[in-house]
Amino acid sequence: MSKIYLLNNLKYEGIENLSVFGIEFLPSDIDLNKYDALIFTSKNAIYSIDSFNKTWQEIPSYAIAPKTANIINEYGGNLQFTGISSHGNEFAKELIPKFKNKKVLYIRALKTVSKLVDILKENNIDIDELITYKTSCLKSNKILEDNSVFIFSAPSSVECFFKNYTWKDSYKAITIGKTTANYLPKNIDYIVSEKTSIDECIKLAKQILN
């Protein structure tokens, strides 16, 4: 029986999680009070900074997308702006006019794929980076059903899947965005979700199986 496998730990009815990577927080003793703004492009950045420094809640936060903005609000942050594009490079362009004469901190993972920092620096934005978490691959030996759909939610989900499994011709791939799709092996066909959203990916997966 074919299934929809989601390669992260978010729970959805009728969807099977395939946990192939984990998140490790990287605490720091940074003084956040010297910054006028914080940039968040993932929920894990919020979870990680909140685990060791609550000061972030007082500083204006800029979120890449509504899901990230919701977590900022949920954790008592000071949400100032939510991006429209949901892609790092485009988000950077949205931020340029908002950060004139501000000192900014981008809270991020060890590995990132966007050029957000480069774009802001090229436009004379005073920006620092703080790495607060990293992803690492986990061992997975689940027996996967033929003719199933796999939802890849980040480049790390692609990398860690292929460390554990061999791709079958009957499988179908959906990626949350073009950046994640670029990490798939060249011989694999895939569909990119029109919106950068797990919900949209799941809708697409259900359409494929019906």
Is the pLDDT assigned to residue 85 strictly greater than 80?
no
Does this chain's domain 4-20+138-209 share its CATH topology with 24-135? yes
Going from N- to C-terminal start, the domains of the chain cover 4-20+138-209, 24-135
CATH node for 4-20+138-209 = 3.40.50.10090
**H-run or E-run covering 92:** helix 88-95
Strand pairing category for 172-175 and 4-6: unpaired
Burial status of residue 7 (CB atoms within 10 A of its CB: 0-12, 13-18, 19 or more): buried
Strand pairing category for 4-6 and 16-17: parallel
CATH node for 24-135 = 3.40.50.10090
pLDDT per position as a tens digit, 11-67? 999 999 999 999 999 999 999 999 999 999 999 999 999 999 999 999 999 999 998
pLDDT per position as a tens digit, 109-148? 998 878 999 999 999 999 999 999 998 999 999 999 999 9
pLDDT per position as a tens digit, 169-209? 999 999 998 889 999 999 999 999 988 889 999 999 999 99
Model pLDDT, residue 179: 84
